[in-house]
Amino acid sequence: MNDLEVIHCYLEFQASECFNVLYDRYAGKIYAKCISILKDEALAQDATQEVFTKIFLNLSRFKEKARFSTWVYSITYNYCIDFLRRKKKQKDLFSDELENAPDPADEEVSDKVLLEIEIKQLKKVLENIPTSDRMVLLMKYQDGMSIKEIAEILEKTESAVKMKIKRAKAKARKARDEIFPEQLV
């Protein structure tokens, strides 16, 4: 059964099997995202629980305009952004750079450079760039979200998101070059 069939089954019959299917499909991924953003196992576990509760309470509001996974991950990102905002008392996690004018010195890094980094190195690289940069890279390369979808989640313009991704890619490459200098050609 695909996600939509399971959702319809859950909404119609409230069957616990449907809950379990969706939970088993997404719990690990949501936990992984939360741990990647929040960097704490206990917080990530609590976040997973909260996010899933939100998902099931709002399941009837899922409009099927986007993929279910995109909807699930957008709830996850929003939860993490709100959590960090409350924790750091920071007005906007993404306000610092998005509002700034583009820096002409920023060099375009091709997708290939990022997609060829080994998994262990990638993990290290992502740990060493700011949370907001990590998030946009995960949205784009891990979740396959469009610029429009990312812009909707972050409540920013598409051009601001493009700039953010461009800078995040540059930071990721810089981090890779610093942590793994042997990779430099």
Partner 1 sequence: MSQTLNNFEQLLEEEASTFDVHKRQQAREGIISTLSSYKLIGQLVTVFVPDMINVLIEATGGDQTTATDDEDKTPRQGQPPHLTAPPTDSGPKPDDDFDIIR
The terminus-to-terminus CA distance of the chain in angstroms comes to 47
147 binds partner 1 (CB under 8 A): no
CB-based contact 174:124 (threshold 8 Å): no
Q: Which of 122, 128, 146, 152 binds partner 1 (CB under 8 A)?
A: 122
Q: Is 177 in the site for partner 1 (CB under 8 A)?
A: no
Choosing from 19, 62, 83, 180, the residue that interacts with partner 1 (CB under 8 A) is 19
What is the rounded (10 degree) CA torsion for 106, 111, 117, 119? 120
Report the nearest approach of partner 1 to the CB of residue 30 (Å). Answer: 9
Between 101 and 115, whose beta carbon lies closer to partner 1? 115
Contact flag: residue 185 with partner 1 (CB under 8 A): no
C-alpha distances out from residue 56 to 23, 40, 171, Å: 10, 24, 36
- At 180 the three-state DSSP class reads coil
CA–centroid distance for 119 within its chain:
17
Q: Which is it for the CA torsion 80, 38, 157, 111, positive or negative?
A: negative
Minimum CB–partner distance for residue 72 and partner 1 (Å): 13
Contact status: 13 vs partner 1 (CB under 8 A): no
Burial 65-97 (b: 16+ CB within 10 A, else e): ebebebbbbbbbbebbbebbeeeeeeeebbeeb
Residues 22-61 that bind partner 1 (CB under 8 A): 23, 27-29, 31-33, 35-36, 45, 48-49, 52-53, 56-57
Task: Name the minimum Å distance from CB 103 to partner 1.
Answer: 25
User: By the criterion CB under 8 A, which residues form the site for partner 1?
Assistant: 19-20, 23, 27-29, 31-33, 35-36, 45, 48-49, 52-53, 56-57, 114-119, 122-123, 126, 137-138, 141-142
